[in-house]
């Protein structure tokens, strides 16, 4: 989880997009696409050590959240060596998170 936290903390304040897919190539239970500026929230539950990141639109509206739960976290790595796309594996849902370059 340290690698995932390091990458996500490096992207704080940047606009990112988050998509989901199912574990091992399976379809996700529910599809998600969210885009927004990444910020870190306080831990939700002191006993579970859940870490929450929030996505906020440029208009200031919450567009999504990413929860890192230690008990279900299965790993993180770069999806592709040529792009900055972080793949988080947690339970049956895997997330792809990437910074957006609007330049």
Domain segments of the chain as ranges: 2-99
**What's the confidence (pLDDT) of residue 43?**
57
Q: What's 2-99's CATH class?
A: mainly beta
Note the pLDDT tens digit of each residue in 2-58.
899 999 999 999 999 998 877 666 666 666 788 999 999 865 666 667 888 999 998
Phi, psi of 2, rounded to the nearest 5 degrees: -60, -40
């Amino acid at each position: 989880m340290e690698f995932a936290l390091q990458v996500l903390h490096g992207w704080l304040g940047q606009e990112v997009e988050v998509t989901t897919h199912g574990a091992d190539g399976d379809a996700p239970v529910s599809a998600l696409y969210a885009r927004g500026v990444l910020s870190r929230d306080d831990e939700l539950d002191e006993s579970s050590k859940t870490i929450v990141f929030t996505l906020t639109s440029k208009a200031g509206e919450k567009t999504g959240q990413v929860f890192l739960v230690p008990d279900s976290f299965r790993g993180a790595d770069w999806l592709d060596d040529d792009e900055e796309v972080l793949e988080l594996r947690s339970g049956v849902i895997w997330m792809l998170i990437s910074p957006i370059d609007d330049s």
